[in-house]
Amino acid sequence: MVEPCGTAALRVLRRGNVGAGQIPSVEEKVESSVKPAISEPAPQMFEIRWHGRGGQGAVTAAKILADAAFRSGFAGVASAPSFGSERRGAPITASTRLSSAPVRLHSQVSEPDIVIVLDDTLLGVANAARGLRPGGVLIVNTARPASALEVPGNVRVVTADVSAAAQAAGLVVAGAPMVNTAILGTFAAATGLVSMERLRDAIAASFPGPAAKKNYEAAVIAHDATRA
């Protein structure tokens, strides 16, 4: 049940091809003070933090991503909302961990490899980039160019107008575009950690037929509109 591996503490940001799409140029980072207790390949874990506002569906997206990653072959996935009472419009976070071994951590992600921001106003308001590891990826739903966003250096910024993608696919609820599933297309394009095929399967498992189709369409549009 629990992987007997001594290297959960060994944080390695992966190089190389995982699936279709672009590959992040992240630096390999090893905690130099930690030596593996057991000589096995290090489980590779990606920690992802989501920033959204209550009602935007960040928690659902985080779960769909975990599902898509699991279907893609990540043996360990875990996805959780920030815990506590929430209300529509208030900033919330969610955490997703993807690993080649079962995930044994339950704490919120504080030093993410990847940050996903559903609403670009949260960059300032929620300090969305806090803790992002050097060489990490910041994915933002915005119509603005990356240079206009105030983000720290040594962070790879990926943007897409996901709101427009959602709108183009007809995903509008109470006048606002639902960007949560669409931004998963941008995630796939930016990181290559999940394929669009697996994403489609995960979306289909979360929504009834016609809704699943629309959500996936929005993800495809966002994927294609991703600006690295």
Query: Which CA distances in Å does 148 have to 16, 117, 152, 154?
Result: 30, 15, 12, 16
130 touches another protein (CB under 8 A): no
Question: Are the C-beta atoms of residues 104 and 85 closer than 8 Å to each other?
Answer: no
One of 26, 78, 218, 222 touching another protein (CB under 8 A): 78
39 touches another protein (CB under 8 A): no
One of 17, 32, 33, 147 touching another protein (CB under 8 A): 33
Query: Which CA distances in Å does 215 have to 34, 140, 156, 209?
Result: 43, 18, 26, 10
Nearest to 161 by CA among 122, 118, 204: 118
73 touches another protein (CB under 8 A): yes
Q: For residues 3 and 176, which CB has a smaller minimum distance to another protein in the complex? A: 3
Torsion over CA of 143, 154, 109 and 130, rounded to 10 degrees? Answer: -70
107 touches another protein (CB under 8 A): yes
57 touches another protein (CB under 8 A): no
Contacting range for another protein; rule: CB under 8 A; set: 15-23, 64-72, 150-158, 209-217: 64-72
Q: Which two tokens stand for residue 135?
A: 């060489």
**For binding to another protein (CB under 8 A), which residues are involved?**
1-2, 4-9, 33-37, 62-63, 66-67, 70-71, 73, 75-81, 83-85, 102-108, 205
